[in-house]
Structure 1
């Protein structure tokens, strides 16, 4: 996750005081254990076009039971995992979700809920508020017509927006989550307007990653120019919010080129802070898959992140998560944990490699079969990454293809 607002607030303070905040220059304070996104259930009441879990509205056999979940939580706590994001499928369809969340809170985990929001009525909103979730993310893929098409359910937008309002009115920290493709890019600006109109203080902008139905539909991925225009809008918005002292948070995910692109944004507007920002971005370190973010699926299988459901690192039913996560005998995990990572092509030659860490590896693996090939989702030009010639290269097609392993997974 790339925390745009964090850097913008530091920039705003630097502009106001003439000095970059000292505390922020000491490092990023990365957690002792990874953030764990836990897909507790695969069942979902929706069949979204970009779902990384290929979820559907039926039960899936073999999911972790309460006793197994408790054992895993104990191990995660001992391993100093700081954050649990409870996800699915649709996590609110799991009967013991509130028991799990309550235990998570009592154990001291920062506890988030990732949901499509369509099941949240007044009673459900009361339960969520009473339990004290630290954050609830609700996905909106556009305005009414667009969102309902993506979610394949008429009325999904109205139900999700109603959930946002119910939680907001109960004091729950709630945010909007949006995955941009060429089919919904036109609704990005209106969604930002909706965010402010509804007094929602967090917006998560996700780039499409090639996993699950997102892999099937990757031919619909937003073109690079559209991505750049969207990020310019997002960075401008985040900057003004920081400068005006608004309680708004903007983050992106699934494309770590966003870090170098922010540096470019600052170089054009605040060149005197570019060198300091670059230090901060290097400290951030870019892609965290297999290092500072982890995934456990509904069957207890561990993955480097939620977009790697087609690659198993082992099962918590066979050995503890803590042992699986520290085992680098798996070539993918060894590469993800390496410094530097063994990336190739444009990524390996990029002047900003120390910022983005080679970006997400899933797209490269899905397109070429090689997880260390250049990321086809990088929207930076050759000139911007320091390659000779200054010409945008001929990029590999992102038309849908299928390699040996095809992932199945979700996005709430």
Structure 2
């Protein structure tokens, strides 16, 4: 399958960022720079480079949460609901600053980004600067908005924490499973690349294989299992026995039977260490290593504010 990737050279190495999986690969051949259509199977065979080893003065990818508002109240949400949400003018300003910083990939999250009327415009702002842009959504409004995203975003990631309403709705609220499934079907039918994202916890680890089967049945490109991070709302779950160790999570994913044409990824806490987040108030945040805490760094006033280190060498 041909998809759009972000390509850049950092410290002499050609890097290829996949907006769907969030992984960055070391290219095995010479490539033009910028947004590039490549065969996803070929890219998937290239070595993965951890974000900390990508070089450069700014992160290779960031998560941008331009909205705090959400129609659901998930207990494992990573967002901080107490931050102030900027208006439309400032959202465009933040998008331009991210684009000017040499970032390859931006995942637009929230809150619920499909509540933003200017979502496609924000994605276009990033794309015009050479970024590849994905959207992470709970799927509630996806069926209605899928056609509006075509040609504007490079991947859509839908949060699904179980293969049935009984499991998923227990975490995200009544009706959320069916709305997400309808959204996935609508997005796939519209021609968008869709990937399922699942927060892997003790209570849903036994349903991982069923989620993989569902992802294949729905025509998605794959599943990313996210090791739960004790950040944001999810900090309350840290002591409830829901948090698997990276080793236990790896055992779950390694045991899966993955159908041909589907890709499966596990993002551990170690993988998420040092990851950069721009929140709705325009503040730059960064995960600790491993990602068990997140701290605010500075307001985003210019591209240099996304730097991996401060003027004094601090993170």
Instruction: Report the TM-score range of the alignment, normalised by the length of the smaller protein.
Output: 0.7 to 0.9
Rounded to whole Å, the distance in 2 between the matches of 1:233 and 1:121 is 32
Corresponding residue of 1:201: 221
3-state SS of the aligned residue for 2:213?
helix
* 120, 131, 134: which one aligns with 1:98: 120
Structure 1 residue 300: Cα displacement: 0.7
2:269 is paired with a residue of what secondary structure?
A: coil
| DSSP 3-state at the match of 1:304 | strand
Q: Which residue of 1 aligns with 2:310?
A: 328
Determine if contact 1:104/1:111 at 8 Å carries over to the other structure: yes
Conservation of the 8 A alpha-carbon contact between 1:48 and 1:150 = yes
Aligned with 1:30 (options 37, 54, 58): 54
Partner of 1:160: 180
In the alignment, what sits opposite 2:149?
Answer: 128
SS at structure 1 position matched to 2:142: coil
SS at match of 2:157: strand
Does the CA-based 8 Å contact 1:112-1:133 persist in structure 2?
Answer: yes
Please point out which of 42, 45, 55 is paired with 2:71. 45
Q: 1:150 aligns with which of 158, 165, 171?
A: 171
Is 1:298–2:280 an aligned residue pair? yes
Q: Deviations over 1:31-63 (max 9, x none)?
A: 7542021000011000012111254xxxx7742
1:88-129 Cα deviation digits (max 9, x unpaired): 10011123222212222233210100100001234x111112
Asked if the contact 2:287/2:295 (under 8 Å) is kept, the reply is no
> C-alpha displacement at 1:24, in angstroms?
4.5
Instruction: Give unpaired runs (5+ residues) of structure 1.
Output: 11-20, 257-286, 335-412
- Please list, as runs of the form range in 1=range in 2, the aligned pairs for 1:5-404 lying within 5 A after superposition: 24=46, 30=54, 32=56, 33-34=58-59, 35-53=61-79, 55=81, 62-122=84-144, 124-129=145-150, 131-142=151-162, 143-151=164-172, 153-218=173-238, 219-224=240-245, 227-234=249-256, 237=258, 246-256=260-270, 287=271, 289-290=273-274, 293-305=275-287, 311-316=295-300, 319-328=301-310, 333-334=314-315
Moved more, 72-81 or 207-216: 72-81
1:91–1:190 distance in 2 versus 1, CA, 3 Å: same
CA distance in 1, matches of 2:48, 2:86: 40
Deviation for aligned residue 1:149: 0.7
Between Structure 1 and Structure 2, the one with more strand by share is: 2
Distance 2:146 2:139 in 1: 10
Larger radius of gyration: 1
Equivalent residues of 1:84, 1:109 under 8 A apart: yes
- Give the whole-Å Cα distance in 1 for the aligned partners of 2:228 and 2:262: 23
Q: 5+ residue gaps in structure 2?
A: 1-17, 29-42
Q: What CA distance in whole angstroms lies between the structure 2 residues aligned with 1:310 and 1:330?
A: 20
User: Cα–Cα, structure 1 residues 330 and 64, in superposed 2: closer, same or farther, change >3 Å?
Assistant: farther
| Aligned-partner Cα distance in 1 for 2:282–2:91 | 9
Q: State the distance in 1 between where 2:167 and 2:187 align.
A: 23
Contact 2:78 2:233 in 1 (8 A): yes
Question: For residues 5 and 94 of structure 1, what CA distance do their matches in structure 2 show?
Answer: 26
Partners of 2:84 and 2:23 lie apart in 1 by 40
